Amino acid sequence: MKISILNAAFIGCLAMAGCGKKPAPANPEVPVNLMKVKPQTVLYFDQYPSTTQALSQVSLLPQVNGAITGIYFTEGTHVNKGQKLYEIDKRIYQQAYDQAVANLKVSEGNQVQAQQDADRYEYLNKYNAVAKQQYDHAMIALQNAKNQVQASEEQVKTAKTNLGYAVVYAPFGGTIGFSEVKLGNVVSAGTVLNTISTEDPMAVDFIINEKQLPKFEELQRSKEPVDSLFTIKLPDNSLYPATGKISVIDRAVDPQTGSIKIRLVFPNPKNTLRAGMSCVVRVHNQDTKPQLVLPSKAVVEQMGEYFVFIAKDSLIADHTPGADTTKKKKQLIALQKKVMTGQTVGPNVVIKTGIKAGDRIITDGVQSLHDGSPITTANKVGPGGGGKGGKG
């Protein structure tokens, strides 16, 4: 009996709880905030990863063999064109030069003697006072003596060149790096001693898509300079104070990637830019036509594609209890639209395609939406209700 009474009381409580709870709406409206898209002028920078390059850079390679006997610079400093940098043991090359000079003097002496004999036999030949054979031999001896002098002169030049190569000079002014050899190291022809690169001006190379090539060719041809057209951000994200200009557009497009290299040149009087630095080239947007701009939080990313939600008025069946289901009622719904995004400008992003001026874009509450969701603007949504990078 007690069990039956308890069961009855329990069932009664459940019934009362069920009567007191209102059924949840089948498709609740999602509160959102809207904005109407209006074209506006946008000033921004297109950005490209880039690398600094020296306009001239050379590896110092000796032309002769020997031990390093002198180093005449401070590593990492500026050196001037023609400055003495390294000396290779020149004793053997000095001796070879002295010997070549001595051989030349002997050859010149032999030529003088052969010339005298030839003159004598030529005089006697006029009067038939000497055998024809002796005259011919004298002429040949003279020619051989002259040839020997020429050969000795070339040997002197070679020995002098090798002696000169025993000293390595700076081919141009620039910054010299760490020495690859030390005093006493034995080097051979082709051994890398060091590297010199120019530092002012400095080149900055970056890659563009071939579709952008006409734009940069037009900028290169332009006679009127545009203020702050090309600037760079340094690795620490600071802005380099000087502006650059286009120096070279590469001769060909890479058929594998459809890209082409562009070189800018920047003044570098304080040697702030070093060869090999990773920078970001900023190209000032020259397009003055109004563009469509949305808050970045209104853009939803799904597997590498970007979408926004547009608010649209629609007529749907009225499922309100007691309502005539044959009649339609107005309902605001969210429609998902694929868009192509452009440059990010602060908290906003340029939309290139997918929407048009006058569209009502959902800016807050997008995290709770899917295509066709009923929405309402009756309740304001706090900022931050979803954005670019979230899943829609």
* Domain boundary pick from 253, 284, 315: 284
Q: Which residues contact 280 (CB under 8 A, 6 or more apart)?
A: 47, 48, 49, 50, 232, 233
Is 362 part of any domain?
yes
Q: What is the pLDDT of residue 156?
A: 93
Q: Which residue has the tokens 């031990």?
A: 67
Q: Which residue has the tokens 């009225």?
A: 318
CB 20 within 8 A of CB 359: no
Averaged pLDDT, groups of 10, the chain, 392 residues long: 48 49 61 88 84 94 93 93 94 93 94 91 85 89 93 94 93 93 92 93 93 87 74 93 91 92 94 92 79 88 89 72 64 88 83 89 85 79 52 38
Same-domain check for residues 52 and 37: no
Same-domain check for residues 306 and 197: no
Count how many Cα atoms sit within 13 Å of the Cα of residue 147 in the half-sphere of its side chain: 6
CB 41 within 8 A of CB 288: yes
Same-domain check for residues 155 and 221: no
Domain that holds residue 196: 45-89+167-284
The C-alpha atoms of residue 146 and residue 114 are separated, in whole angstroms, by: 9
Same-domain check for residues 183 and 230: yes
Is 389 part of any domain?
no
* Domain boundary pick from 284, 312, 342: 284
Is 258 part of any domain?
yes
Same-domain check for residues 33 and 54: no
CATH number (domain holding residue 233): 2.40.30.170
Q: Is the pTM of this model over 0.85?
A: no
CB 189 within 8 A of CB 166: no
Same-domain check for residues 185 and 113: no
Q: What is the pLDDT of residue 55?
A: 93
Q: What is the pLDDT of residue 127?
A: 84
Is 271 part of any domain?
yes
Is 272 part of any domain?
yes
Q: Specify the number of domains making up the chain.
A: 3
Same-domain check for residues 85 and 222: yes
Same-domain check for residues 138 and 216: no
Same-domain check for residues 276 and 297: no
Same-domain check for residues 65 and 206: yes
CATH number (domain holding residue 100): 1.10.287
Is 9 part of any domain?
no
Q: What is the pLDDT of residue 392?
A: 38
Is 11 part of any domain?
no
Is 1 part of any domain?
no
Q: What is the pLDDT of residue 26?
A: 54
The C-alpha atoms of residue 33 and residue 387 are separated, in whole angstroms, by: 13
Compute the chain's Rg from CA coordinates.
Answer: 43
CATH number (domain holding residue 349): 2.40.420.20
* Domain boundary pick from 284, 299, 315: 284
Same-domain check for residues 150 and 229: no
Q: What is the pLDDT of residue 374?
A: 86
Same-domain check for residues 65 and 29: no
